[in-house]
Amino acid sequence: MNSPTTGTFSVPARLLHWSMAIMVMSMLFIGIGMVATVSERHVWLLQLHKPLGIAILALVIVRLFVRWRYGTPALPSDLPPWQRAAAHLSHWMLYALMLAIPLIGWTMLSAGGYPVTLFSGVTLPDLVSPSATLYSALRFAHTWLALSLFAVILIHLAAALYHGLIRRDGVLASMTKGQKHP
């Protein structure tokens, strides 16, 4: 017998969650795809990658504010402690990665001496002065943190489906329908 969760996510939190879920997933596929081809896809995916990544950076800041302002529903009281700990850890990892990866993307381009062009005529300021050593470290981090983000997202998705399909404790519904489970 699984006891249901209490409360739901606020409307802004749910809107942010689902729009960012689509954006972040798209970004991972765009990123991995654009560095794996020499075709024209490389160019237009990269042109999408930079502005979309900066949009995610802006939205994650709004989202952390919304989370602080509206809070989150409590997890079901009978959830085993290790699952509770894993939930909290993975959520904070998701926030940290969504913040760090685009920031690193921007900083790495500055360190590589590249103009950080979002659209024709819209160029972000340099965050650091050019340094090949820094570029190289950040370029490495950008890839590996992005791959980690993909892994954490898959675990997060599996856990959400576990709540929705196996435990059926209203945790998934608190983010989808936003109503307390029956």
Residue numbers of the site for another protein (CB under 8 A)? 1-4, 28-29, 32-43, 46, 112-117, 120-121, 123-126, 130, 132-133, 135-137, 139-140, 150, 154, 157-158, 161-162, 165-166, 168, 182
Bridge partner list, 122:
119
Question: What angle do the packed helices 132-161 and 11-34 form, to 10 degrees?
Answer: 130
Least Cα distance to 103 among 90, 89, 121, 116 occurs for 116
Contact between 109 and ligand HEM per CB under 6 A:
yes
In angstroms, give the least distance from the CB of 168 to another protein: 5
- Closer Cβ to ligand HEM, 146 or 173, answer by number: 146
The token pair at 181 is 């489970």
Binding window for ligand HEM (CB under 6 A); candidates: 86-94, 130-138, 143-151, 173-181? 143-151
Q: Which residue has the tokens 């990123």?
A: 31
Angle formed at CA 62 by CA 57 and CA 64, multiple of 5 degrees: 95
Contact between 106 and ligand HEM per CB under 6 A:
yes
In angstroms, give the least distance from the CB of 138 to another protein: 10
Contact between 148 and ligand HEM per CB under 6 A:
no
Residue 122 to residue 119: CA distance in whole angstroms: 5
